[in-house]
Homo-oligomer: A and B are copies of this chain.
Amino acid sequence: MLFLDVLRKKREGHHLSPQEIAFIVKGYSYGEIPDYQMSALLMAICLRGMDDEETASLTEEMLRSGEVIRPEEIPGPKVDKHSTGGVGDKVSLVLSPLAASLGVKVPMVSGRSLGHTGGTLDKLESIPGFRTQLSLMEFKQNVNRIGVSIIGATKELVPADGKLYALRDVTSTVECIPLITASILSKKFAAGIDGLVLDVKTGSGAFMKGLEEARSLARSLMQTAQRMGKPAIALVTGMDQPLGRMVGNATEVQEAMEILHGGGPPDVVELTLELGYQMLRLAGLCQDRQEARRQLRSALEDGSAWRKFRELVECQGGRLRCLEDFHGLISKRVHVVTSQTHGYVNAIDTHKMGQAAVVLGAGRRRLGDKIDPSVGYEVLAKLGDRVEKAQPLARVFYRGEADLKEARNLLLDAYNFSPERPSPPPLVYETLEHTSK
């Protein structure tokens, strides 16, 4: 097989066979196909697309590029959740111990903040001592012992994805549904899960801003999971405003802990319950939605989810004592941004809100940038809220004056007001599922 023949086929818009896709992924992983040929193929895939069979083959081959956890290595129902990324989305911090406290095994492979979005690993690392780079052996042991562990992609797990992602990042081939699908699912399925709940974000703070685009990604993820024989459920959910109130790293851990104590803002609690119900379903631990939500609520209120969270933190080296006075980890330099006009909050440019967090130092502009866990902000006005002139919009926890100035402008710019109260956007737009193998 010649790489150029495969490349020409895709350039002309033809279907690639599983053998051709295996040849490409192996050849690139082993360094036999040079970057300059692979990048031409990636661009051809972006512009010509891949059908479901091709996407499944690509996912399968990427998955096989490294070690794979066999289902019998972690007994019990193993379900993970993945979000396509947003602003203020701390659901994983709550949901992973919550689901584990109800008997689900959660071997979670998670990501870092990139662009305007936050990342679960960075948030967890705001807990002093917390290690997200575990060996696969330690990861499996943790899941087997306490039911949950959260790590980043390792060199053992899906090495092809690391190499491909780095090339996509510098060749404008990141935003491509089949490539996104294969990247997400290969990592998730390499962790040996039985089922996957997908939270596909849509709206101004999502990567896929348009609803149709988000639906296409959700469909691609679902169909690929189905072809690979893995039950999956995808929720298309709104990211037209930050989720909950807190944005940042330590700030979001603090809010997650509030939820784990039975409190927290209603939107993030509601989404956690809905995604939790789907995880329990895929784990075969419930049938009835009402009953599942009741169990989840109880676990939040009776302290069992909170205890599981403490086990998770302890297991991965985090200092439990720090959880007791978490306020101390948030920057003491506080500035309140106030509204310069009045009206109902009609729209929030959530991409700008995310950028505000980045300029404060809570996010990174490029992979490898260092983040400041102590900075962030609290959102004080959400969609549909009535705001008077000089009323607070956000409380900013900052480090440098220049950062504050830039973040303040972004936050003020992000808000749009109208004289009439707008109808609130839905939290969940739709649910796609296939739950049998």
Main secondary structure of the interface of A (DSSP, over half): helix
A48 within 8 A of B: yes
Counting CB contacts under 8 A, is A38 at the interface?
A: yes
Given contacts A47-B11, A47-B48, A172-B8, contact A40 B37 (CB under 8 A): no
Listed from nearest, the 4 A-B pairs whose CB atoms lie closest are A35-B36, A43-B43, A40-B171, A39-B40
Tell me, yes or no, whether A1 is within 8 Å of chain B by CB.
no
Is B46 touching A171 in the complex (CB atoms < 8 A)?
no
Q: Are A167 and B36 in contact (CB under 8 A)?
A: yes
Q: Does A137 contact B (CB under 8 A)?
A: no
The answer for the CA separation of A181 and B103 in the assembled complex, in Å, is 65
Contact B46 A173 (CB under 8 A): no
- 18 A-B Cβ contacts within 8 A? A4-B170, A4-B172, A7-B171, A8-B172, A11-B173, A34-B35, A36-B167, A36-B171, A37-B39, A37-B171, A39-B39, A39-B43, A40-B40, A40-B43, A40-B173, A43-B44, A44-B47, A47-B48
Residues of chain A in range 366-381 having any CB-CB distance to chain B below 8 Å: none
Number of A positions contacting B (CB below 8 A): 23
Question: Taking the nearest CB of chain B, how far is it from the CB of A172, in angstroms?
Answer: 4
Give the residues from 23 to 46 in chain A that come closer than 8 angstroms, CB to CB, to chain B: 34-44, 46
Nearest to A173 among chain B residues (CB) is: B40
CA distance A39 to B41 in the complex (A): 9
* Structural contact, B44 and A42, CB atoms closer than 8 A: no
**CB neighbours of A37 from chain B (8 A):** 39, 170-171
A411 to B34, CA, bound (A): 38
Minimum C-beta distance from A132 to chain B (A): 28
Contact flag A172-B11 (CB < 8 Å), given A36-B36, A36-B38, A167-B36: yes
Q: A4 — which chain B residues lie within 8 A by C-beta?
A: 170, 172
- How many Å lie between the Cα of A14 and that of B36 in the bound state? 23
- The distance in angstroms between the C-alpha atoms of A171 and B46, with both chains bound, is 16
The contact of A36 among B7, B46, B47, B170, by CB within 8 Å, is B170
In chain A, positions 243-266 with a C-beta closer than 8 Å to chain B are none
Chain B positions within 8 Å of A35 at CB level: 34-36
Question: Shortest distance in angstroms between A393's beta carbon and chain B's nearest beta carbon?
Answer: 32
Residues A7 and B44 in contact in the complex (CB < 8 Å), given A35-B35, A36-B38 = no
Instruction: Give bound CA distance, A40 to B41, whole Å.
Output: 8
